[in-house]
Structure 1
Amino acid sequence: MDLFVTVLLWFMAVSSGLMAGIYFAFSVFVMRALATLERGEAIRAMNAINAVIVRTAFLPLFFASSLGALALAVIGGLHWGVSGGTTMAQGGAAYFVGMFMVTVGRNVPLNNALAAVDPASDTGAAVWAQYLRQWTRWNHVRTIACTVSLALFIAAIASMRA
């Protein structure tokens, strides 16, 4: 494969590692810490995190890596069975589906629902209880997808160099 594909694989390996680390932190301790707070404080804290994260380097990384994963899924699919092609396609698909689509289809709607409630209301309490459980479950999926993708991108790089 050419230099473009090699650079894109390295970009995706690094991006997958970064995203896995972010999601891992939320799965392992951020959400657990928020669960120890009073409900209204927890809702306000999570809403603040959600408001800030979209104004940081996270969002460009999120979209650039999603496009990179989609590109590698297509390129790898076109080179299925060729050295690195299969693992490249699998890594791209796992990342795009398990990170991007889960975020857009599951985590973001949950974030929007949480942002719409009054933290001090009974509705807020019900939404928070459901949010904490469901958002964290889907975040585990994103963590695993990014970690698996990282391993597959490294395997693709290694097999192309062999």
Structure 2
Amino acid sequence: MGRVSRTFKLKLSPAGVELFLDCHCRLGHLVNELLPFGNTLYCALVHLDHVDTRLIADDLKTLKESALLGDRVCFVGAPLTLTDVTARIADKLGPEAQRRGPAALNSRLFIVALKQFRLASAEAIMAAYDEMLDQAGEYLKIGRTLRSRRMELGPIGQ
């Protein structure tokens, strides 16, 4: 079996770190579990995949002014399938958003995802969490209690 996870790089300002921690704390409270940081990033991207592309494009254009980008390099481990989510979002945004290359877009999408995640309703976050578990559950580190609950419930839509 090949590699199933990798490390993703975020370049954050102190406000960007606070944003990530706020999102992580909120998700942990909603699922009532201690979670790896990669679950938060993945879940935020799954949520972003459902956000109107006009909002995403606007956030990308105004990202510098948001004061969330910075020089602090943070590394977050997550399932490799996270790249599938970023690719879907990039495809929806079109070639203009991708002109600086996939790595540059991905690092900016991570921050936009967190920004939109903080604005999301609890219901939207839980829907994104369930979708994340369906997409990458076998590769995620989740608690035994939550994993057994997921086994009882089965995939979404059943």
Q: TM-score, normalised by structure 1?
A: 0.29
More helix by share: 1
In the superposition, the TM-score normalised over structure 2's length comes to 0.29
Greater strand fraction, Structure 1 or Structure 2:
2
